[in-house]
Amino acid sequence: MSAADPTLVQEAARRRTFAIISHPDAGKTTLTEKLLLYAGAVGEAGSVTARRGRKAATSDWMEVEQRRGISVTSTVLRFEYDNVVFNLLDTPGHKDFSEDTLRVLAAVDSAVILIDAARGVEPQTEQLFQVARARGIPLMAFVNKYDRPGMEPLEIVDHLTEQLELPLVPLTWPVGIPGAFRGVIDRRDASFHRFTRVTGGSAVAHEEVVAAGDEIDEEDAPAWAVAEEELELIDVDGAEFDEEAFLSGEQIPLLFGSAAWNFGIGQLLDTLRDIAPSARPRVTDDGTPRPVDQPFAALAFKVQANMDPRHRDRVAFVRVCSGRFERGMRVTNARTGRTLALSFAHEVFGQDRVVLDEAYPGDVLGVIIGGDVRVGDTLYIGSEVRFPPIPTLTPESFVTVSNRDVNRHKQFRRGLEQLDQEGVVHVLRREHSQDPVPVLAGVGPMQFEVAVERLKTEFGADVRTEMLPWQAARRTDAEGAAKVLADPGHTDVFVRADGTQLAVFPNRFIMDRFAQRNPTVRLERLIGADEPD
User: Is residue 91 a known part of a binding site?
Assistant: yes
Residue type, 75: T
User: Kindly report the CA angle at 471 between 392 and 477, in degrees rounded to 5?
Assistant: 60
> How many Å apart are CA 366 and CA 356, to the nearest integer?
9
| Annotated domain spans of the chain | 17-75+92-276, 283-380, 397-517
> How many Å apart are CA 144 and CA 432, to the nearest integer?
52
The CATH architecture of the domain made up of 17-75+92-276 is: 3-Layer(aba) Sandwich (3.40)
Would you say how long the chain is, in residues?
Answer: 533
The answer to whether 494 touches 395, Cβ cutoff 8 Å, is no
User: Is residue 346 a known part of a binding site?
Assistant: no
The answer to whether 371 touches 408, Cβ cutoff 8 Å, is no
pLDDT of residue 1: 42
b/e burial code for range 380-415 (CB count within 10 A of at least 16 → b) = bbeeebbbbebbbbbbbbbbbbebeeeebeebbebb
Closest C-alpha among 496, 492, 493, 340 to residue 417? 496
Given CA atoms 373, 374, 375, 379 in this order, what sign does their dihedral have? negative
Return the DSSP state at 139: E
Residue type, 367: V
The answer to whether 360 touches 12, Cβ cutoff 8 Å, is yes
pLDDT of residue 95: 67
Return the DSSP state at 216: P
pLDDT of residue 529: 40
User: Is residue 40 a known part of a binding site?
Assistant: no
Instruction: Name the strand (E) or helix (H) holding 439.
Output: strand 439-442
Domain 397-517: homologous superfamily in CATH: Peptide chain release factor 3, domain III (3.30.70.3280)
User: Is residue 147 a known part of a binding site?
Assistant: yes
> How many Å apart are CA 188 and CA 364, to the nearest integer?
32
Q: Phi and psi (nearest 5°) for 24?
A: -55, 145
Does residue 479 come out as left (phi exceeding 0), alpha (psi in the -120 to 50 range) or beta?
alpha
User: Is residue 409 a known part of a binding site?
Assistant: no
- Residue pLDDT tens, the chain, 533 long: 445 588 999 999 999 999 998 887 888 889 999 999 999 987 655 543 333 333 333 444 445 545 554 444 567 889 999 999 999 987 775 666 677 888 888 999 999 999 999 999 987 778 778 888 888 899 999 999 999 999 999 999 999 999 998 999 999 999 998 888 999 999 999 999 999 887 667 788 888 999 988 888 888 899 999 999 999 999 887 778 999 999 999 999 999 999 999 999 999 999 999 999 999 999 999 999 999 999 999 999 988 876 555 556 788 899 999 999 999 999 999 999 999 999 888 887 766 768 888 999 999 998 888 667 888 999 999 999 999 988 788 899 999 999 999 899 999 999 999 888 888 899 999 887 766 889 999 988 888 998 999 899 888 999 999 999 999 999 999 999 999 999 887 899 999 988 899 999 999 999 999 999 999 999 998 765 444 44
pLDDT of residue 58: 47
User: Is residue 23 a known part of a binding site?
Assistant: yes
User: Is residue 193 a known part of a binding site?
Assistant: no
The answer to whether 262 touches 201, Cβ cutoff 8 Å, is yes
Q: Rounded to a whole number, what is the distance in angstroms from the first to the last CA of the chain?
A: 45
User: Is residue 22 a known part of a binding site?
Assistant: yes
The answer to whether 496 touches 476, Cβ cutoff 8 Å, is no
Q: Phi and psi (nearest 5°) for 524?
A: -125, 155
> How many Å apart are CA 155 and CA 316, to the nearest integer?
43
Query: Which of the listed CATH numbers 2.60.40.10, 2.40.30.10, 2.60.120.10, 3.40.190.10 matches domain 283-380?
Result: 2.40.30.10
The answer to whether 502 touches 441, Cβ cutoff 8 Å, is yes
DSSP per-residue letters across 236-272: HTT----HHHHHTTS-EEEEE-BTTTTBTHHHHHHHH
Residue type, 435: D
The answer to whether 202 touches 44, Cβ cutoff 8 Å, is yes
Cα distances (angstroms) measured from residue 338 to each of 68, 172, 373, 377: 40, 51, 10, 12
User: Is residue 55 a known part of a binding site?
Assistant: no
User: Is residue 24 a known part of a binding site?
Assistant: yes
User: Is residue 106 a known part of a binding site?
Assistant: no
